[in-house]
Structure formats: structure tokens, C-alpha cells
Structure 1
Amino acid sequence: MKKKKIGIKRFRLNLKKEQKKRILLVLFCVMALVVLVIPAVFLNSIFGYLPVIVALLMVAASYGYLQVLKRSLSYDELSDLSNCQRGTSVDFTVKLKNKSPLIFTRLKPSFYISDLFGADDTVTEEVITLAPFEERNFSFSVRFDHIGSYSAGLKKIQIFDLLGLFSHTIENKNDYQVNVKPKIFDVASLKISNSALTESEKMIVPTVIDGSDYAGVREYVWGDPIKTIHWKLSARTETYMTKQFESYGTVGLSIILDFYSPSYDRETLMSIFDSIVEIGLSVADYAKETGLEYELVYNSRHGEKKKFSAGYITDLMELIGDMPKISVAEKGERKALDLLREEGNARYSHGNIAFCSANITEEMTNVLLELKNRKKNPILFAIVPDSMRDEERDKFLRPLRILDNAKIVFYILSSAKELGGGEKI
């Protein structure tokens, strides 16, 4: 992250330097013109104008030189950037050829890689020369640190004349599309409840009170929603009693991905997207290895609810391409929580529900408590950036304290590699 920020700062500094150079060049030309005109003013003859005439001829010759050069350069991109894994570097090569007997005194090729949002993330510039009829392969390395589909390669080539007064830019309209795949990590351990349904059914005391839609009651546990308290029965028993609702879940795992985040810079948002996807896929892989039924659930980039069960994930990049880009959650944003609540309350949903999110709110913890009350086993994967300061981090994670009291499992992670089992080959 720091390296990328430094790269962007350098690029901006280079732009400022180029602007300063152009201003200084204009000032120099004006001063040179004034100096050249002085002999003509004092001599008042044709010979006094010779310096001006020579200077103009040199400028014209340099401009003509540039016109020949821009028709004499050819380039060919040799790299095949199609698929790679996040965090790997790929070599990219451009073959430059001078087809004329003239010298390219200054060539400036620019290479780039886009970010998840389509903007240029990293721009690399180099200055080289080309001798007459010379061919040269220019290589640079591109590191892809984030999951997704990107464009990368040669952005443009800038050619300069002999005097450095003029330039011509050749824009490269061909983009390489690069698909960056996620990493899968071994999950060291996961508190999956294989017998949650059986145990909870033993705890139910069948009763019908007030004709409400619940299957029984039990003693109130800290963290249970207040609205589920059975007030009449609590008054008679002199202890708080809470309603228990029927559950038709199956022993399996639903993994819900939340692509809404608090407001961060672009680099942090892209890292959060990586964490959500890789944690979700790593947990799914864990479920597969342990023989659990599992499914990935999320709202697609078109706003549709998508659910992929085991065996239906055939093309990983197609799956990621269907996922929405990470976006900043607006005040009152509830789409992911609605998805969590809907999945948890579904009649035949899985008994274990994992929720991967960077948007930690009190409302989210309330939804997890509701699921716990419905005899589900909610598991929270809370993504918190490393860049968050200690005080800010404590305040951000404050809503999670109630989950401890309710014995709801949660993991606080900055990336999927912290799942504890190491990268899976």
C-alpha cells in the first residue's frame, strides 16, 4: 500500500516537474529571442538579423526532424497478460524499432495498470534513446496486488525533437485485459455447529401462548432481543423468559458477502474487497474439505440476489466478475443486512451462517442476535484495515462486545491470510 502511494506521488511530482520545465522553456525562448533581436536593432542591417534567421531555421529543421521521426517508429507488445494470481508480478515487454537512419535522441514510453474502479493506479515512465535502425526490447514488471479484471500495458510513447521544443505523442489504443485470481487460504479452525439443531430442539419446551408463531420458551440470555421476551410468562415466573422460534435448518454453511464498507481511500477499499472475497472462498473451501454443504450468497453488481452452491462454482473469474465493486455504505444502507436476515429466517436455511463484512454497526449485531435466538449459529468475519488507529479501532469494534455475551463467534481480520492456516497451494 505504501509503495503504491509513493508511486502515485512520484507520478504527480513528475507531472509538476514537466509543467515547470515547459514554463522555463517558454521563458528561455522569449529571452533568447530578445537577445537575438538586439544585434538587428543596433546594426540596423541584414547582417543583424542573421542570428534570428539561423535560430528560426534551426527550430524549423528540428520540427521537420520530429515529423520524420514520428513516422519511423514502430512498436509491438510481446507480453501475454491474461491470468495471474493476486500478489504476483508479471513481466511486460514492448519491442521498439527505429526504421529510419535518424537518431531518436529522446523517447518516453509510459506504462500503466488500472485499479478496480477503472482509473490509472500506477504509471511508470522511462526515457530512452534509439540509434538508426535499432531494435530494443523494453521490459518492466507489473505487480497485481488486488483481485479483479484490469487493463494494463503500454499507455503512450512520447517523441521529442532535437532541441526539445516539440513533442509528438503516440497513444496506444490496445489494452491487455488481466484477470487477477484470489488466493485461497487454509482455515486453521472454524467453530461450526454440527449438532446445533439437535441440541436446541432438546431445549425447546413446546407451548402455545397467545397464538404467536413460536415453538417454545426458555430463560432469557444476555444479548437476546428484548422484543422476543415473553412478558406475561416472565411476570408469572419472576424471571425473564424469551420466546424460541421454530427452525427448519440443515447442518450446512451459508457464507454471506457484504460489499459495503465505511469510507476509506481507494487502496484500502480494494484491500477490503480482496479480504471479503478471499475469506468467503477460503471458508467455502474449508466447508468442502470437511464435507459440509455450503453456499455463497451475495447481491450481484446488478442488485440481484445470487446463491452459488457447492459444485456450481466452475469459473472463479466469472463469479468474481458477477460480484459488485466494493462501495461506501451510505447512512441507513441495509442491503447486506436484509440479505443476512432473509437467509437466516428462511425456513430451510443452513444452520451455520457466516457473514463477511467490513461495515460493523449496532444494527448488524442485532441481526446476528436475532439469528442466534432462532437457533442458528452465526459466525462473523469482521474486516478491519491495519491502517486504523488504536482508539479509532476500539470505537469501531465497540458494537461487537455484545456478541461475546451472547456467545456468538466472531473473527477480527485485516486479510484472509490471518485465518491461521497459511496460503493453500
Structure 2
Amino acid sequence: GRIFIKGTAARYTLLMENPTIFYMPYITVNMLIEGQVLCKDMKRMSLSLPPFANRSFSYELPLYYRGLYNIGVHSIEISDFLGLFSFTVYPPEMKSILVRPRIIDSPYLDIQELKSTEGSRSREHLEAGNDEIVNIRDYNYGDSSRKIHWKLSSKLRKYMVKETKNEQDKDSIFILNLNNQRIPDLNSLMMEDCLIEEIVADINYLLKMNMSLRLCFFKNGPQTVRAVSALDFQNIYNILSEVKFNQDYDFVQALDYFTEGEDHSNLLFIYTVKLDPGMIEKLIKLKNKGFDLQLFFVCYEGVGFEESKWRDIADLLTKNEIDAYRLVPSGKPAGGTENRAESYAATEGAEVIEA
């Protein structure tokens, strides 16, 4: 599929051709649902084609939200005047586009505060003196020569680096909730996009400061991706560009899984579209265990932010010293107006996808 950056645009072109001598009176083109979310005009249509005729259809796709989308034709149904025969044609390959999130500066993280927390953790770990080797990986630019595994490097003819228990215990932990957001619609896409853009910004920020971290999420099972420098950012960026919010699991249990045994990993970042009472109860328990929590969310299950009940919830988070940030999606929903600070690319400069 083609790769785009959020805020640009694409153009999808469909060419229908009848190369036979027969008239095709009834043709129904069924389009994929994800494409209809990006462009309302990309919907089911009916047409007819005379012998040796062709028709072309062009759709402009403004790419306001990151994600991996299957677009275009799902199937084509053809039948005669009397309905005596009909058959269905499927495209030889599915057309898809990947819309990567923007990389913006994080407005929330305070590097001095984070560095201070990490520094105190580092001293505790050095005093503990746990140098057990837990992983060996390829050398990255900026790694200390003291971490090179010389014997293995000589055998493999490339530099290999040792990771000790001390180092992994210092990782900040980023936990992303990918729970199912129902059938994709503009509202859910806006909320997911807002959350992903924030976690991308925060991870980029920490890696630029050479603060190691782990990205954790459930995708058909627990997944953990470790990053130790800015050179590792691209891999995480690629992953976060494609992840779908389509999992079905208990996020509280996921928090248990990823935090179990992490007594020294004080920096814990939680990202979820929806917050609920069960999550808050779990976060308070994690805070009481000594984790330094940063919570990012978009909405609260069943409660509007204008309601007095939300003020009670916010007070509870503040009382337990949980730094919580409500993310407000902004974009250009169908029929709405542009409310982002920057303008999106004009569709005249769109890339063309043909089918």
C-alpha cells in the first residue's frame, strides 16, 4: 500500500471497462467500509456499460486521521436484464493506505522532573549492584564501549551490546490500551488519532533525551518493544502508525501483566481512549506501590466532562497524586470546520491510487 503523513491527501481512481460485445445493464460496485469513513462519496453505486465502453470515477481522500485503511472496491456484481444470470468479481488485490501520525512536540512532559526521577532511580539501582545480563543486542550509535560483549562480537564479526538487569529496571514503561472502539466512525477515529499522536510525541521526547523505555500493549497477546536511544524511535513510530484499536481484553489485567515485578520502574505512562472506574481503582493501587504515574485519556465512560460527577473523579485523581491529562481531539469532521493550528494539504497535490 501507499504511505502518507496525516494532513496530506490522496486521490483514488476507479476505471470500469467493458471489453466485450455484450451490453452490461446492471453493475453494482460495493466499496469497502473503511474507505467510506475517509470519503463519504466512496459508497455503493449502480451503473451500466455498453459494449467496449468505459467509465472513470475519482475520489479525493483528505487524510485527517492516522491508521491503516483498506480502501476501494470490495466486489462488483454483474447481471443481465432478466436476471437469468449474475456473477461477482473481486479485485485481484486489496488497495490499502497507511497514514502515519504527525510528530509534534509534547506540551505535557517536563524533562527536568523526569530526569530527576530517573536520576534517583539510577542511584538506587547502582547501590543494589544488579549486573545480571538479561539481553544481548546489536550495537547502536551512542552505546558505551563498556557495554560491548567483546567475545561474542568477535565471533559474530559485529558489535554486540550487553543489557543488564540494572538498565532494564530503569526503563520508563508506556502502556497503550488498544481495546475495541466498535465500528470505525469519525468520532472514534478522532479519539484514537489524538491518543496516538500524544504517545508518539512523548516517546520521541524521552528518546531524544536518551531515556530508555518500553512500549507495551496487547495485540493477540502481550507485546513489548524496547527502545534505548533516538535511533530506536523509527521502529516504534512504524508500530504506532499501524496499530488498530480492535482488541478485546481486560485492560486492568493488562496493567497487572506489564507492571508485575517492576518495583523499581517508577515512571509509568498510561494511554487509553476511555477511562473507567476499574482503571482508576487500579491506577491508585499502582501509585500506592510507588509508581510515578502519568495518565493520558480522551473520555470517561458514561460521564460528560461538564457533569459534577466528573469533578469528583478529577478530585480523586488529584488527591492520589496521579498526573492526569485529558486529550481533546481536534480535526475536520465531515461537514465541520478546520480547527487545527495548521492547514491541511490541498487535494490538488494529492497522490493518485488507481484501481
Q: Normalized against structure 1, the TM-score is what?
A: 0.52
Alpha-carbon separation, structure 2, partners of 1:303 and 1:363: 21
State the partner residue of 2:148.
none
Native 8 Å contact 2:298 2:327 kept in 1? yes
Native 8 Å contact 1:114 1:122 kept in 2? no
Residues 191 and 365 of structure 1: CA distance in aligned 2, closer, same or farther (over 3 Å): farther
**What pairs with 1:296-375 in structure 2 (closer than 5 Å)?**
296-309=214-227, 310=229, 311-315=231-235, 319-320=239-240, 323=243, 325-327=245-247, 334-339=252-257, 341-342=259-260, 345-347=262-264, 349=265, 351-373=266-288
Q: 1:401 offset after TM fit, Å? A: 2.0
Q: 1:381 offset after TM fit, Å? A: 0.6
| C-alpha distance after superposition, 1:340-370 (max 9, x if no partner) | 6337x333x3x43221123434454455445
| C-alpha distance after superposition, 1:136-179 (max 9, x if no partner) | 33323345665443332222333454x56556343214212333
Is 1:157 the equivalent of 2:76?
yes
Percentage of matched positions with identical amino acids: 17
Residues 96 and 197 of structure 1: CA distance in aligned 2, closer, same or farther (over 3 Å): closer
Native 8 Å contact 1:257 1:276 kept in 2? no
Native 8 Å contact 1:147 1:274 kept in 2? yes
| C-alpha distance after superposition, 1:270-324 (max 9, x if no partner) | 55443433221121122234x2514242134132340321433444575248856
Alpha-carbon separation, structure 1, partners of 2:257 and 2:342: 30
Residues 280 and 159 of structure 1: CA distance in aligned 2, closer, same or farther (over 3 Å): same
Question: Aligned Cα RMSD in Å?
Answer: 4.5
Alpha-carbon separation, structure 1, partners of 2:118 and 2:236: 32
Residues 157 and 264 of structure 1: CA distance in aligned 2, closer, same or farther (over 3 Å): closer
Residues 137 and 364 of structure 1: CA distance in aligned 2, closer, same or farther (over 3 Å): closer
Alpha-carbon separation, structure 2, partners of 1:136 and 1:145: 29
Q: Which has the larger radius of gyration?
A: 1
Alpha-carbon separation, structure 2, partners of 1:156 and 1:306: 38
Match of 1:293, SS state, is coil
State the partner residue of 1:177.
96
* Structure 2 unaligned blocks of 5 or more: 123-165, 332-339, 345-355
Instruction: Choose from 87, 91, 96 the match for 2:11.
Output: 91
Residues 423 and 248 of structure 1: CA distance in aligned 2, closer, same or farther (over 3 Å): farther
Residues 190 and 317 of structure 1: CA distance in aligned 2, closer, same or farther (over 3 Å): closer
| C-alpha distance after superposition, 1:362-386 (max 9, x if no partner) | 454455445555654321112217x
State the partner residue of 2:160.
none
Native 8 Å contact 1:112 1:153 kept in 2? yes
State the partner residue of 1:195.
116
Residues 191 and 398 of structure 1: CA distance in aligned 2, closer, same or farther (over 3 Å): farther
Letter in 2 for 1:98: N
Letter in 2 for 1:179: L
Letter in 2 for 1:135: N
Instruction: Choose from 102, 118, 124 the match for 2:43.
Output: 124
Q: RCO (CA 8 Å, sep 6+): is it higher in 1 or 2?
A: 2
Native 8 Å contact 1:83 1:181 kept in 2? yes
Native 8 Å contact 2:303 2:310 kept in 1? no
Instruction: Choose from 196, 209, 233 the match for 1:277.
Output: 196
State the partner residue of 2:53.
134
Match of 1:180, SS state, is strand
Q: 1:393 offset after TM fit, Å? A: 6.2
Instruction: Choose from 362, 365, 383 the match for 2:298.
Output: 383
Native 8 Å contact 2:177 2:218 kept in 1? no
When you count helix as a share of all residues, which structure comes out higher? 1
Q: 1:412 offset after TM fit, Å? A: 0.9
Instruction: Give aligned pairs, total.
Output: 284
Residues 189 and 361 of structure 1: CA distance in aligned 2, closer, same or farther (over 3 Å): closer
Letter in 1 for 2:304: D
Letter in 1 for 2:292: N
Match of 1:260, SS state, is coil
